[in-house]
Structure 1
């Protein structure tokens, strides 16, 4: 199975976890890591190139730090540009049908903050609903997300363990 990881981190060089994930993912032969902020610093997305990348892969992963209960802005711009009507959705928009989709997300806050009654009042499952709706609309199968909470508190060994766990999650048969 060929996997495309669409990485969206505006400050990857300053990241600990997302940078470690990216480096580890680059070691996998059947995984393509596509760094949007490196590729499109001007936010001018090449829709045809991106659509071609999607067609060449079976599993699509959005990797990003959780910003204001969603993804960084370039990933949203990517969705707006690439997942076009008539291509990704609509009566003729069937290009992504049958592909698998998952999220790989890091949060600064602890897991307890992301639940009913927690600091943020909602679970990650609830906060991920727009991504699940996107997968549904485009005919992709929404797979369980990989979430690493409290990344600011992780030591290097925990960061390395997280990267290995992400590989296991992304390569798992669902």
Structure 2
């Protein structure tokens, strides 16, 4: 399975979590391609044709990013707006992504327990990621259960090392759980 990992982190040099996750993904062989989107597009001017070409070549697309203010980094939103065009990604003739898988790999500073109806934030991560799930549905992709790394502000080195290996296992797996339209 050809897996495309799009890393949307605005400062990878300062990343304690996304940097080792992406670095581990790079070791998985020719079937996994990792692209550092802020390095490719520092001015946030996305090359639509290039992005559509790499998407077309993939079977699974991974959006890896830290969650900021309960949302995605700005470049990820810009990328969606620019690349997922009517007639290509959706609409009566837009079938380029149909049948491909979408995996969200998200990290949060806050602990996992805070992402619940009874937690500090009042919403689950699944609920906060719903716009990405809706996008996957619109472009006819299979939305996979997100890979989450929570509590990154206090994660131990040992827990981070385990998370990195868990991520590699997920990326190498041919059979991942999906979320239906209602999550």
Counterpart in 2 of 1:17? 17
Structure 1 residue 92: deviation in Å? 0.7
Tell me how large the CA RMSD over aligned residues is: 0.8
Q: Structure 2: any 5+ residue segments left out of the alignment?
A: 177-183
Q: Structure 1: any 5+ residue segments left out of the alignment?
A: none
Counterpart in 1 of 2:6? 6
Q: Distance in 2 between matches of 1:103 and 1:171?
A: 15
TM-score by length of 2: 0.93
TM-score by length of 1: 0.98
**Counterparts in 2 of 1:100-139, with a 5 A limit?**
100-139=101-140
Aligned residues: 174
Structure 1 residue 152: deviation in Å? 1.2
Q: Distance in 2 between matches of 1:68 and 1:5?
A: 22
Structure 1 residue 70: deviation in Å? 1.1
Q: Deviations over 1:47-100 (max 9, x none)?
A: 000000001110001000011111100000000000011000111100000000
Q: Distance in 2 between matches of 1:17 and 1:162?
A: 9
Q: 3-state DSSP class of the match of 1:61?
A: strand
Q: Distance in 2 between matches of 1:49 and 1:58?
A: 16
Q: Distance in 1 between matches of 2:167 and 2:23?
A: 12
Kindly indicate whether the alpha-carbon contact (under 8 Å) linking 2:9 and 2:65 is maintained by their aligned counterparts in 1. yes
Q: Distance in 2 between matches of 1:153 and 1:162?
A: 14
Q: Distance in 1 between matches of 2:141 and 2:69?
A: 25
